[in-house]
């Protein structure tokens, strides 16, 4: 892992660099899936919406990436070989498939998740897109990203194990097309 949610991407070198986040804003359920031996709670980690049930899909906490992924699971930079757009809107069919004919418009519209309802432009609510020129520039960057890298959409509407299995199977089946000698697969 290099970044959680957002990170700068160089289209020229197809790399992303760590933003320096000290804590990840994760769901309790995600932490339990990745590190079941961790016993996190509001006394050990700053939390929100915690009802007492560590498997509540809404409860979140702030946690160091090292606690979740260990130092071996973190990388200061990564080469990107595949873009995976996670879709979690209601009505999305489970599975993994190629993006439609205009992936930038789908991402810009927030169609990857009902939660954002199109208000979080281009999957990054921290962007300040104050003018139409800003929007056009960001749209151009996404067009370039999708033109330079293979991209798929993955429905994140099943169990974490099922979603991971679908992605790992895809990577295995397409490994010769996705990997260059010495590169690693990285998800955005």
Residues 172 and 84 in one domain: yes
Provide CB contacts within 8 A for 128, sequence distance 6+.
134
pTM (predicted TM-score): 0.72
- Report yes or no on 186 lying in a domain: no
Q: Look at residue 188 and tell me if it is in a domain.
A: no
For residue 108, what are the domain limits?
A: 80-178
C-alpha pair distances (Å), 124 with each of 107, 137, 143, 155, 157: 10, 14, 16, 19, 21
Q: Are residues 90 and 123 in the same domain?
A: yes
Asked whether residue 88 falls in the same domain as residue 42, the answer is no
Examine residue 14 and state whether it is found in any structural domain, yes or no.
Answer: no
- The whole-angstrom separation of Cα 82 and Cα 110 is 20
Same domain, 56 and 100: no
81 contact partners, CB below 8 Å, separation of at least 6: 14, 149, 150, 178, 179, 180, 183, 184, 185, 186
The tens digit of pLDDT for each residue in 100-158 reads 888 888 777 766 565 555 555 555 555 667 788 888 888 898 899 889 888 898 887 78
Query: What's the pLDDT tens digit per position in 112-122?
Result: 565 555 555 55
pLDDT value at 39 more than 70: yes
pLDDT tens, 74-97?
Answer: 888 988 888 888 877 667 788 888
In a domain, 167, yes or no: yes
Tell me whether residue 128 is in a domain: yes
pLDDT per position as a tens digit, 43-84: 999 999 898 887 787 889 999 999 999 888 888 898 888 888
Same domain (yes/no): 146, 91: yes
CA distance 24 to 68: 9
Q: Quick one: 63 and 116 in the same domain?
A: no
With H, G, I as helix, E, B as strand and everything else as coil, classify residue 47: strand
Instruction: Give the chain's domain count.
Output: 2
């Amino acid at each position: 892992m290099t970044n959680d949610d957002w990170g700068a991407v160089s289209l020229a070198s197809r790399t992303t660099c760590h933003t320096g986040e000290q804590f990840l804003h994760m769901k309790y359920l995600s932490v339990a899936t990745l590190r079941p031996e961790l016993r996190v709670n509001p006394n050990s980690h700053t939390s929100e919406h915690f009802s007492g049930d560590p498997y509540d899909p809404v409860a979140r906490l702030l946690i160091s990436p090292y606690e979740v992924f260990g130092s071996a699971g973190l990388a200061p930079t990564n080469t990107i070989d595949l873009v995976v757009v996670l879709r979690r809107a209601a009505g999305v069919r489970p599975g993994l498939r190629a993006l439609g004919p205009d992936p930038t418009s789908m991402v810009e519209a927030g169609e990857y998740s009902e939660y954002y309802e199109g208000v979080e432009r281009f999957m990054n609510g921290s962007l300040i897109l104050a003018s139409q020129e800003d929007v056009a520039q960001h749209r151009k960057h996404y067009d370039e990203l999708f033109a330079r890298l293979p991209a798929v959409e993955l429905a994140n509407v099943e169990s974490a194990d099922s979603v991971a299995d679908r992605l790992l199977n895809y990577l295995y089946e397409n490994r010769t097309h996705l990997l260059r000698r010495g590169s690693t697969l990285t998800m955005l």
